[in-house]
Amino acid sequence: MTIYSEQQAKAILDKAIQASKADGCTASLGGSNNGNIRYALNSVSTSGLVSECDLAVEVSFGKRTGTATTNRFDDASIEAVVRRAEELARLAPENPEFMPPIDKQSYRASPTFNANSAAVTPQYRASVAAACIEPCRKDKLTAAGFFSDGHSFTATANSKGNFGYQQSSGMDFTCTVRTDDGKGSGWVARNLADVAQFDAKSEIRTAIDKAKRSVDARALEPGKYTVIMEPAATAGLISFMMFNFDARQADEGRSFLSKKGGGNKLGEKLFDERVTMIADPWDPAAAVLPWDQSGLARERTTLIDKGKINYLHYSRYWAQKQGKKAVGQPGNLIMLGGDKSTADLVKSTKKGVLVTRTWYIRMVDPQTVLLTGLTRDGTFYIEDGEIKYPIKNFRFNESPAIMLNNIEEIGKPVRVGDDESPFVMLIPPMKIRDFTFTSLSDAV
Partner 1 sequence: MDRRDFLKLTGVGLGGLMLPAFAGRVIAAEELLSTLDVATKKKLADVALQAAKAAGAKYCDVRIGRYLRQFVITREDKVQNIVNTESTGIGIRVIAKGTWGFAATNELTADAVAKAAREAVAIAKANSVVQSKPVELAPVKGVGEVSWATPIVKNSMSVPIKDKVDLLLGVNADALKAGASFVNSMMFLINEQKYFASTDGSYIDQDVHRIWVPMNVTAVDQKSGKFRTRDGLSTPCGMGYEYLDGRKEDKVELPCGVTVYGNSYDMREDAIAAARQAKEKLVAPSVKPGKYDLVLDPSHTWLTIHESVGHPTELDRVLGYEANYAGTSFATLDKWKSKNFRWGSDKVTIYADKIAKGTLGAVGYDDEGVKTQQWDLIKDGILVNYQVIRDQAHILGLKASQGCCYADSWSSVQFQRMANVSLAPGKDKLAPAEMVKGIENGIYIVGDGSFSIDQQRYNAQFGGQLFFEIKNGKVTGPIEDVAYQIRTPEFWNSCAAVCDASDFRYGGSFFDGKGQPGQVSAVSHGSSTAHFTGVNVINTARSLG
Q: Which is nearer to partner 1, 226 or 372 (CB)?
A: 372
Give Cβ neighbours of residue 221 (< 8 Å, ≥ 6 apart). Answer: none
Q: How far is the CB of 7 from partner 1 (least distance, A)?
A: 25
Q: How far is the CB of 344 from partner 1 (least distance, A)?
A: 28
Q: Which is nearer to partner 1, 109 or 220 (CB)?
A: 220
Classify residue 324 as left (phi > 0), alpha (psi -120 to 50) or beta.
Answer: beta
Query: What's the number of CA atoms in the CB half-sphere (13 Å) around residue 390?
Result: 22
Q: Which is nearer to partner 1, 371 or 410 (CB)?
A: 371
The letter for the amino acid at 372 is T
Q: Which is nearer to partner 1, 44 or 387 (CB)?
A: 44
Query: Which among 167, 164, 166, 159 has a CA at the least distance from the CA of 14?
Result: 159
3-state secondary structure of 147: strand
CA pair distance 236, 232, nearest whole angstrom: 7
Q: Residue 243's Cα: distance from chain center in Å?
A: 11
Q: How far is the CB of 254 from partner 1 (least distance, A)?
A: 4
Q: How far is the CB of 264 from partner 1 (least distance, A)?
A: 11
The letter for the amino acid at 373 is G
Q: How far is the CB of 53 from partner 1 (least distance, A)?
A: 11
Q: How far is the CB of 44 from partner 1 (least distance, A)?
A: 5
Query: What's the number of CA atoms in the CB half-sphere (13 Å) around residue 218?
Result: 9
Q: Which is nearer to partner 1, 348 or 441 (CB)?
A: 441
Q: Would you say 183 and 444 are in contact if contact means Cβ atoms under 8 Å apart?
A: yes
- The length of the chain in residues reads 444
Q: Which is nearer to partner 1, 252 or 386 (CB)?
A: 252
- DSSP alpha helix (H) spans, 244-329: 247-251, 316-322
Q: How far is the CB of 31 from partner 1 (least distance, A)?
A: 14
Q: Give the strands of the sheet with 414-416, arranged side by side.
A: 308-309, 301-305, 277-279, 332-335, 424-427, 414-416
Q: Would you say 178 and 162 are in contact if contact means Cβ atoms under 8 Å apart?
A: no
Q: Which is nearer to partner 1, 90 or 104 (CB)?
A: 90
Q: Which is nearer to partner 1, 8 or 67 (CB)?
A: 67
Q: How far is the CB of 77 from partner 1 (least distance, A)?
A: 10
Backbone angles phi, psi at 202, to 5 degrees: -80, -40
Q: Would you say 229 and 429 are in contact if contact means Cβ atoms under 8 Å apart?
A: yes
